C-alpha cells in the first residue's frame, strides 16, 4: 500500500461541527439616548458592570441591556461642556 492510502485509512472521520452562535457585545451607540460626537464621562463597560447589566455582568440580579440609558450631563473638567453619562431606567420603562 502506498503512504497516501495508509494515511487515508488511518485518518479519523470528520466530525460535524455545531454552528457557532457567537453573540456580539452591544456597543455604546446601541444605548438609547447616547449622543455621538460627545465624549463619555466614564468608561461605559465598567459602568455596565457596576449597574449589573447583561452581558457585561452575568451574576445573580443582572438586568437586561435594554434598561441601560444615556443622557447628557455637564462636564466640569471641560468647562461644563456636555458629556454622555449612563444610568438604569426603571423596570418596564
Q: CA nearest 84: which of 32, 27, 28, 35?
A: 35
How high is the mean pLDDT of the chain? 86
Average pLDDT over residues 57-78: 92
The dihedral of CA 35, 38, 41, 47: what is its sign? positive
Tens digit of each residue's pLDDT (9 = 90 or more) over 56-67: 999 999 999 999
Average pLDDT over residues 4-11: 66
C-alpha cell at 9: 485509512
Average pLDDT over residues 2-21: 67
φ, ψ of residue 69 to 5 degrees: the values are -130, 160
Tens digit of each residue's pLDDT (9 = 90 or more) over 21-58: 677 889 999 999 999 999 998 899 999 999 999 999 99
Amino acid at each position: 500500500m502506498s503512504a497516501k492510502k495508509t494515511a487515508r485509512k488511518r485518518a479519523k472521520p470528520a466530525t460535524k461541527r455545531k454552528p457557532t452562535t457567537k453573540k456580539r457585545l452591544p456597543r455604546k451607540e446601541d444605548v438609547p439616548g447616547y449622543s455621538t460626537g460627545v465624549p463619555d464621562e466614564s468608561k461605559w463597560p465598567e459602568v455596565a458592570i457596576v449597574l449589573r447589566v447583561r452581558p457585561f455582568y452575568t451574576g445573580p440580579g443582572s438586568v437586561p441591556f435594554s434598561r441601560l440609558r444615556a443622557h447628557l450631563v455637564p462636564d466640569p473638567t471641560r468647562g461644563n461642556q456636555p458629556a454622555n453619562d449612563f444610568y438604569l431606567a426603571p423596570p418596564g420603562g
